[in-house]
Amino acid sequence: METRIESLLEHVEKPARYIGGEVGSVVKDDYSLRVVLSYPDVYEIGTANQAVQIIYSLINSHTGAWAERAYCPWPDMSGLMRAEGVPLFSLESWKPVREADFWGITLQHELTYTNILEMLDLAGVPLRYQDRTDDDPLVFAGGPCASNPHPIAAFFDFILIGDGEQVMPGLIRLCEQEKGKPRRELLEKLSRMEGVFVPAFPRKVTRAVADVLDYELIPVRPIVPSMHSVHDRAALEIMRGCTRGCRFCMAGNWYRPVRERPMEDVCRAVKAMVAGTGYEEASLSSLSTTDYSAIQETLAALAQSNPNLTISLPSLRVDPAAIKLLGLTSQRKGSITLAPEAGSQRLRDVINKQVTGDDIQEAITEAFRGGRTTVKLYFMIGLPTETEADLQGIIDIATTARRIGRSEAASAGRVQINISVASFVPKAHTPFQWFGMHGREELEKKQEFLRRNMPRKQIKLSVHDLMPGMVESAIARGRDVTADAIEAAWRAGAGFDAWTEKFDFTAWEKGFAAIGSTVEQEATRSFTLDADLPWDDIDSRVDKDFLVEEKKRAERAQVTLDCRWGDCTDCGVCEGDIRMTTCK
Amino acid sequence: MNFNYQMRFSKTGRARFIAHLDTLSCLMRAIRRAGFEFALTQGMRPKPVLSLAMPLGVGIEGEDEICDFSLQQRAPLAELAKKLGGELPQGMELKSVGPSFDRTKSASRVESVSYRIEFAGAPAGLSGAAGRYNEESAIVLLRKRPKGDKEVDIKKYVPQVELSASEGGPWGITFDMAVSSEGTGRPDEIIEALAGISGEELKISRIVRTAIDIRDEPPPAPARPGRHGRPAYRGRRR
């Protein structure tokens, strides 16, 4: 097998994607179970994913099992693999993935689902769990999109709901004990574990929650790819969860409550990660990093102890204080991205994005004063209750930003405002789960309105393609039968759908035609409040009543304050050991 | 003050698929993981001082590659070798590391490189082709380039190839390839030339760069004695 793989690598683009052997990768000689972990996209995208790194390090350092990795081969490689009869192999051992005991695939994004089928097929593992035998690996999934497991349930033996690190150790222990037992017997046992959804034994599953973020589980020596990846930096999750309560946001409603890592842990871990990887940049990641209670002290401490390190802060809030924080990092001055999400105060109240027009102006002012020349502003269109006035609001913010830039930036001529506009995609387990996506024609009209009316001088408008969002929406709130559409789309040639040049809408049209529907029909489906939702059997720990109440408040444009600073919003997530933990 | 070092390393097996720029990142990170601090270049975007004598094509193995780098502090050599040795990706191995007293980078002084090409099986016509290659006075190949193709005489860079025979017949060739300011050749051009001569397809199993020869530095220009035996003042006079 090794020589066969090597001879393929002579003929493909970027062969380093398939070689393994990176610093930080683990090879075990003696192990109880062999697990392969996958991100269903190409190596340089997948390797940047933190979930895979966390579970990889957890399995390898804290259990007797061996975790390896496999990513989705790029079409040039998969074509050769099929032609030469080389099955999907893991990077560490170059052994077939098919021969592993377990194969875990992370669900970060709906538009990676066809790649899952591609990988199963390349591995020679039956696509559907019913068709697998005791000789096949148990294929499992986890990650944010597992919150609605139904559209892909047909392809998995079991699906982890919630924080993987909470479930994984017990799961490995159980599987070690039960090794060699028939598949069905093991799956039946797994279906009784918290946070495990087994499509063959469907039961109501409650999301697993790690009550604290354990220092011991930080991958302080993560894998350092031997080739350029999308995030060439050390990434540390400093906080999980966000209770700002944006009503469209899947992550904010799913990963509750807020759990902050102690500041000492953050400093210690960053130091260890930088020493262990040789990266010059570390990213403090979370859903809203500037909300971390000790962010200022942490940045100051990190700057002092690692003077040459660049700290990057993703997910900045539209907040002048947050922009000022950037001054504490030695981040390169260039552009900055802010997300007001909606153009008018009314619509921002509907979505509960608690950002005022003044906040936006002050944040932009601060950004230009801080030496930046480019400000990127991110908006959504197609939000519930949206009117033309809200779209006009986007244009007004853009022109205001340009005006501020011309007066505040060091060089008025170099000011650039980039406006990025995506279409809202409703997600399960959010207050907006009952709303359908706007129809294609309506969204096209809205895009056209922006294109026609947005001034062009020093403002660049980029509107996201509509169709990938529609497909995402059709899947995100899909049902069991959606799996048939995904499979049919893959058979019609869909794959690497998140890549603009690979996205093939015709294949998706064929896919949904196979279940007697269309992408648009599925994407725009709305549910009544009393309807049974396909994902009702997944308990996110947030009360459905809370979501209903939030939806009603949204329709009245009423905001709900964050429980971190305001009253308890009674979302229902806090219970026993599960509660908000802040580092201050 | 910077402290200059030179390391020699091999990059074989699967690591031959790591591209040139990625190799640079691998080496930089390895040096940082080993706990050493790079000297930085001057300018708006300071970069670590590290360079390879010559890029190695993707898929070609290197048995003795040369990397120059500079550190901010003097590193104890034993410690440098020990720590660095453990930090390279699988397939890359440290062969030696030591201080460098050269004023110019190896990259600007490469004189020639040596290759070994191993063929799969024992191509019947290889021996004859190698003989004819050596006899020809010029072998002109067409180099395809986006800005118009260009003819090159590959014999200018590789005058001779040598057969390395084994029991089953000749299985490989070795040769030295000149590198000059005008350019150099590529190992696949030699294969192309040999295949052209023998008229048979040559199946390659390995291409290995076995050595990089570096020209000695020109000695520093001696200070010319001025009048009264004092060194002449060579700067601009006010």
- Whether the CB-CB separation of A266 and A285 falls below 8 Å is answered with no
pLDDT surpasses 60 at A380? yes
> In B, which residues are within 8 Å of A22 by CB distance?
89-90
Q: Tens digit of pLDDT for each residue in A398-411?
A: 999 999 999 998 88
How confident is the model over A85-114, as pLDDT tens digits?
999 999 999 999 999 999 999 999 999 999
Q: Is the predicted pLDDT of residue A306 greater than 90, yes or no?
A: no
Which of chain A's residues have a Cβ under 8 Å away from the Cβ of B90? 20-22, 25
Angle at B16 between CA B13 and CA B17, to 5 degrees: 120
Task: Work out the average pLDDT over A463-490.
Answer: 96
- The reply to whether B20 touches chain A by the CB within 8 Å rule is no
The residue written with tokens 């670590």 in the block is: B48
Chosen for mutation from B9, B12, B29 (greatest number of chain A CBs closer than 10 Å) is B29
Alpha carbon of A509 to those of A366, A437, A503, A505, B134: distances in Å? Answer: 46, 17, 12, 6, 62
Looking at chain A, the whole-number percentage of residues with pLDDT higher than 70 is 99
Backbone angles phi, psi at A141, to 5 degrees: -130, 165
Q: Is the pLDDT of residue A71 over 90?
A: yes
* pTM for the full predicted model: 0.93
Provide the shortest C-alpha distance from residue A538 to chain B (in Å): 43
Q: How far is CA A431 from CA A143, A205, A311, A384, A434, in A?
A: 20, 20, 34, 11, 7
Query: How does DSSP assign A159-221, residue by residue?
Result: EE-B-HHHHHHHHHHHHHHTTTS-HHHHHHHHTTSTTEE-TTS---EEPB--SS--GGGS-SS
| A545 near B CB under 8 A | no
Q: Which of A467, A475, A496, A517 is nearest to A114 (CA)?
A: A496
Q: Which 3 state secondary structure label does DSSP give B152?
A: strand
pLDDT value, residue A458? 95
Nearest residue, CB atoms, A275 vs list B17, B19, B33: B33
pLDDT of residue A173: 94
- Answer for the pair B226, B232: CB distance below 8 angstroms, yes or no: yes
pLDDT band per the 50, 70, 90 thresholds, residue A249: very high
Instruction: Find the mean pLDDT for residues B55-77.
Output: 95
Please give the pLDDT value at position A209. 96
DSSP state of A555: H
In chain A, residues with a C-beta closer than 8 Å to the C-beta of B19 are 14, 16, 227
Express each pLDDT in A332-362 by its tens digit: 667 788 899 999 999 999 999 989 999 999 9
Q: Cβ–Cβ of B58/A228 closer than 8 Å?
A: no
Residue the block writes with tokens 């899909």: A478
Could you tell me if A278 lies within 8 Å of chain B, comparing CB atoms?
A: yes
Residues linked to residue A96 through DSSP beta bridges, in sequence order:
A89
Task: Indicate the pLDDT class of residue B238, thresholds 50, 70 and 90.
Answer: very low
Output the six-digit token pair for A204. Answer: 């109501």
pLDDT at residue A366 greater than cutoff 80: yes
> Is a pLDDT exceeding 90 seen at residue B235?
no
Choose among A185, A189, A205: nearest CA to A197.
A205
Higher pLDDT, A442 or A179: A442
Using a CB–CB cutoff of 8 Å, tell me whether B33 touches chain A.
Answer: yes
Average pLDDT over residues B161-179: 83
Tokens representing A477 are 């709130």
Mean pLDDT across the stretch A117-128?
A: 98
Q: Which residues of A touch B89 (CB under 8 A)?
A: 21-23, 226
A308 touches chain B (CB under 8 A): yes
Q: Does A22 touch chain B (CB under 8 A)?
A: yes
B203 touches chain A (CB under 8 A): no
Tell me what pLDDT residue A332 has.
60
pLDDT of residue A292: 93
Q: Looking at CA atoms only, how far is residue A273 from chain B in angstroms?
A: 10
**Whole-number Å distance between alpha carbons of A309 and A274:** 8
Within an 8 Å CB–CB cutoff, is residue A2 touching chain B? Answer: no
For residue A319, the model assigns a pLDDT of 82
Of A340, A349, A355, give the one whose Cα is nearest residue A398. Answer: A340
For the segment B188-207, the average pLDDT, to the nearest whole number, is 89
Chain B partners of A18 at a C-beta cutoff of 8 Å?
17
Mean predicted lDDT score pLDDT of chain A: 94
Q: How confident is the model at residue A378 (pLDDT cuts 50, 70, 90)?
A: very high
Query: How does residue A514 score in pLDDT terms, banded at 50, 70 and 90?
Result: very high
Selected for mutation to probe chain A from B25, B50, B56, B87 (highest A CB count within 10 Å) is B25
> What is the percent of chain B with per-residue pLDDT over 90, rounded to a whole number?
59
d(CA A437, CA A217): 39
pLDDT at B224: 63
Say what the alpha-carbon torsion angle A159, A161, A164, A166 is, to the nearest 10 degrees: -120
pLDDT at B32 over 80: yes
A334 interface with B at CB cutoff 8 Å: no
How many angstroms away from the CA of A307 is the closest CA of chain B? Answer: 12
Query: For the segment A23-32, what is each residue's pLDDT rounded down to a tens digit?
Result: 999 999 999 9
Residue of A13, A22, A23, A94 best to disrupt the B interface, most CBs of B under 10 A: A23
Q: Report whether pLDDT(A277) > 60.
A: yes
Residue A250 corresponds to which amino acid?
Answer: M
